[in-house]
Amino acid sequence: MIVGLGNPGLKYRNTRHNVGFRVVDLWAKSLGVRLDRTRFQGRFARTRFQNAEVILLRPMTFMNRSGESVRACIDFFDLQAENALVVHDDVDLPVGRVKVVRGGGAGGHKGVLSAIQNLGTHDFPRIKVGVGRPRYAGESVEDHVLKSFYRDEKEVVERVVKMAAQACELVVDSGVDAAMNHFNSMDLAVS
């Protein structure tokens, strides 16, 4: 199961916090499916990739309750937490970076915290997409992630969303370690 975290609604569509949605949507499009089924407090699709059944999920609960949707989907399909790959934004990574990890804490991310709380474990893989920290004094991290990317970041963001979708493919095809080895040292912001 591949879960892209974000917030529902047009107001949040192009925000930093919704980069997880963008990654899952892009991968779904490349697989020829749309997340047009509604269940688990989210939108989802089932498809196949490299002989594996894949469930793509976008929780529609708002970020801080994402774990409720993840838990409902895992329970319905009788999956283990380690089979849920969560794609989310990360302010501690600069724009242009993707980091694949096996588990860990929430790092202040309320969507990841909700998933940890609802799954009862932090042992699930993640793809962290760098969205950077605020550039300007007085801008809080909370406000920063609910805004669009800076104009000079938008081209890099398009490429990094594609890279994160490729990381999803590699996790499904070859495993977390292969994806970590391939993507964690890349930086698309470096020319």
Per residue in 79-106, is it b (16+ CB within 10 Å) or e — as a string?
A: eebeebbbbbbbbebbbbbbbbbeeeee
pLDDT tens for the chain, 191 residues long, are 999 999 999 999 999 999 999 999 999 999 999 999 999 999 999 999 988 899 999 999 999 999 999 999 999 999 999 999 999 999 999 999 999 999 999 999 999 999 999 999 999 999 999 999 998 888 899 999 999 999 999 999 999 999 999 999 999 999 999 999 999 998 888 75
Residue 61 token pair: 């609960």
Q: Which residues are identified as catalytic?
A: 17
What is the reported pLDDT for 189? Answer: 83
Asked if 98 and 163 touch (Cβ cutoff 8 Å), the reply is yes
End-to-end CA distance of the chain: 33
pTM of the model: 0.95
Domains of the chain: 2-183 (3.40.50.1470)
Nearest to 90 by CA among 107, 73, 66, 75: 107
**Cα 65 to Cα 130, 149, 153, distances in angstroms:** 22, 24, 28
How confident is the model at residue 191, as a pLDDT?
55
